[in-house]
Amino acid sequence: MRVAEICYFDKPGAANTDDVMAAVNKRLKQGDVRTVVVASTTGSSALRAAELIDVPDVKICGIHFQSGQWDKMAKPDEALLAKARALGVVFIPDSPPTTFFRDIDGESADTLRKFGQGVKVATEVVLWATQTGMIDPGDLVIGVGGTGRGSDAAIVCTATTPEEIGKLAIREILCKPL
């Protein structure tokens, strides 16, 4: 049996970002997870992860919207991406195109939203990172997501692709808003 700590935030949003990264950093120190996948629309959350995570040899994958989505979604800030890359962050490639939860048959997104938007996003970016080859299916990773801007949720899960959503296993919730 393992007893774990979960951090609950009173409100969702960017104000929780540093506390999320502290929880991620603490979990990484256990040594069995070596990859963090961070939702980062502008690049700022991935940059903050790189600044705050002090565990060596951890891969940080930054996930922003791909260029084919920029007409409908936000475009990342190139200056922030450059700063994060300089600290070792690897960002999502432009292909293959990613699959949004709304495009997956079933109730996956609605079910995950019941845990909060941040948990849904943390899960979705892990699927995208796996779908684009940034991480391998079956890897134990930490997914970080948020509600709006910044980070307010982190999970430990087994990576899979949207096509294999039934293999998704959320093993731990590190933090989330109430």
**For residue 111, what pLDDT is reported?**
79
Contact 175, 143 (CB under 8 A): no
CATH number for position 30: 3.40.1380.20
For the chain, the domain total comes to 1
Residue 2 lies inside a defined structural domain of this protein: no
Residue 172 lies inside a defined structural domain of this protein: yes
Question: Containing domain of residue 54, as a range?
Answer: 7-177
**For residue 134, what pLDDT is reported?**
96
Contact 39, 121 (CB under 8 A): yes
Where do runs of H (alpha helix) occur along the chain?
17-28, 44-52, 78-86, 108-113, 117-131
Number of residues that make up the chain: 178
Give the separation between CA 90 and CA 86, rounded to whole angstroms: 10
**For residue 143, what pLDDT is reported?**
98
pTM: 0.93
**For residue 65, what pLDDT is reported?**
80
Residue 1 lies inside a defined structural domain of this protein: no
- Residue ranges in the chain whose pLDDT is less than 70: 100-109
Cis peptide before 96 (omega within 30 of 0): yes
Residue 100 lies inside a defined structural domain of this protein: yes
Measured CA to CA in angstroms, residue 35 lies from 27, 81, 90, 106 at distances of 11, 18, 11, 28
Residue 115 lies inside a defined structural domain of this protein: yes
Residue 133 lies inside a defined structural domain of this protein: yes
Residue 118 lies inside a defined structural domain of this protein: yes
